Amino acid sequence: MTSHAVADTLVLLKRSLRHVLRSPDTIITTAVTPVALLLLFVYVLGGAIQTGGGSYVDYLLPGILIITIASGISYTAYRLFTDVSSGIFERFQSMPIARSAVLWGHVLTSVAANLISLALVLVVALAMGFRSGAGVVGWLAVLAILVLFTLALTWLAVIPGLTARSVDGVSGFSYPLIFLPFISSAFVPTDGMPGPVRWFAEHQPVTPIVNTLRSLLADQPVGHDGWLALGWCVGLLVLAYVLAMATYRRKIA
């Protein structure tokens, strides 16, 4: 049964990847906003922001990577909405394929597309002067956190993808996720924020994830933030997966 589900997932993954490859502009579009923010904050606002020393592009990049993921998962919700609206899910139901494979095909496509977008943003950051002291282990840890966070947000995107009634409803899903890094340590240290804002910034998931990525890329100890980041990523992933599968069974299966 497991091998059957894996085989079905691979088939549907290839189908979904073909759609992405036919319109690579979606990947480029995903990277445009993060790159624009990177350029704006480094070259226009960076000189007025105090981060305690070091290059501002090094400080900023982890938060920009999170925004890249938040931008990318909106296309997953849109592709799911398109499949549901066109009736393709009902056709899949009539075929002898694993039910979970339909969703996993979209989710794994999201991971692949987001990794390409993240690579594009990283290339731009390197051209702007970003440098990392991380070794192979550090970069693998960064990759693992980014993949976990992408999976968590993608499974969250599955829910509006299945339930939205209009394209506008699907498109609006990612806006709060893109905005969340602005109220975190992604752009400025939380120390200078007003009391309530600082409390929220220090207790929402983006801050420990960004801090962990920043420490890993600088080859510095991650400390308590590492466990918080892992806990948030895994917790969000499990919760989003359970809710997404329940929504799928209720609406489709």
User: Three-class SS string for the chain?
Assistant: CHHHHHHHHHHHHHHHHHHHHHCCHHHHHHHHHHHHHHHHHHHHHHHHCCCCCCCHHHHHHHHHHHHHHHHHHHHHHHHHHHHHHHCHHHHHHCCCCCHHHHHHHHHHHHHHHHHHHHHHHHHHHHHCCCCCCCCHHHHHHHHHHHHHHHHHHHHHHHHHHHHCCCHHHHHHHHHHHHHHHHHCCCCCCHHHCCHHHHHHHHHCCHHHHHHHHHHHHCCCCCCHHHHHHHHHHHHHHHHHHHHHHHHHHHHCC
Q: pLDDT by residue (tens digit) across 41-100?
A: 888 877 777 777 678 899 999 999 999 998 888 878 887 777 777 766 666 665 656 666
Residue 98 is predicted with a pLDDT of: 62
Which segments of the chain have a pLDDT < 50? 1
Full-prediction pTM beyond 0.85?
A: yes
Residue 22 is predicted with a pLDDT of: 67
